[in-house]
Structure 1
């Protein structure tokens, strides 16, 4: 099968799975990649998106995380109170763990690009069939939730 046709079929399969799972993020991602792929400058844009996209995504997530500070919803006293509870320390530790693991993950992807196939498949399955979300800070939050719940702690 022609490699160009195979990539289109693979993207259509991802889109079909996303539609079946009613996952809007993955639907938007698949359609966006397909639209860019159809454009004449795709050969320049796709490698740039591949190499810089994770950093752009982290930047967008970071912006979203900082918005409650900008709106005044989160204040310095909230930051101070985090250090006063075991649940707060667990959240800090999970955030650090995810950041460090992500660094090694990026290194792993660079060293073994074939791992990307398994990661993409696993992420798609987790997002579509288990209603997961593909995002680092959200993973840290989920880890925190699990540990805090297991220990019967709260943030107060």
Structure 2
């Protein structure tokens, strides 16, 4: 009978996620899981993973924010276009939705810190959404924020 006591479930899950990323042709999931697998099996994994765990989310948000702000920095969005966003009905709705999403993201971070047991479900749901619904993997924070509304957390 095989001995499963030394089975690394987290590594198996990463390989499953890698397979889902390949299946769905989502390079973001493939790259992220491949990098985590490499870090995990490397001799430096025990040192690097705590840093990735602690700072990865903040670094990801920083890179995402830079990507979102680049059209302003590059001049693709002129000052006139930015100012018009305060008078156009569609842009005003976009501003309100942006406020709501930022609020939900903040609640999501708090929930993920205070209730870490929900992280696995959020990640699985997000990866499945990416793999099968052609979504993008920015969902866990917003999903956690929506989930926090059901938890009635502040």
TM-score (norm 2): 0.83
Relative CO higher for 1 or 2, CA cutoff 8 Å, sep ≥ 6?
Answer: 1
CA distance in 1 between partners of 2:117 and 2:129 (Å): 19
| 1:5 Cα offset (Å) | 2.2
Structure 1 moving runs of 4+ over 2 Å: 1-5
Consecutive unaligned residues in structure 1, runs of 5 or more: 140-156
2:107 to 104, 107, 124: 104
CA distance in 2 between partners of 1:111 and 1:67 (Å): 33
CA distance in 2 between partners of 1:68 and 1:51 (Å): 29
- For residues 1-156 of structure 1, what are the structure 2 equivalents within 5 Å? 1-2=4-5, 5-135=8-138
RMSD: 1.5
CA distance in 2 between partners of 1:73 and 1:81 (Å): 14
Consecutive unaligned residues in structure 2, runs of 5 or more: 143-154
Deviations 1:91-137 (A, max 9, x none): 1111111111111111101111110010010000100000001226x
CA distance in 1 between partners of 2:113 and 2:86 (Å): 36
CA distance in 1 between partners of 2:98 and 2:57 (Å): 17
Q: Residues 3 and 91 from structure 1, CA distance in 2 versus in 1: closer, same or farther, beyond 3 angstroms?
A: farther
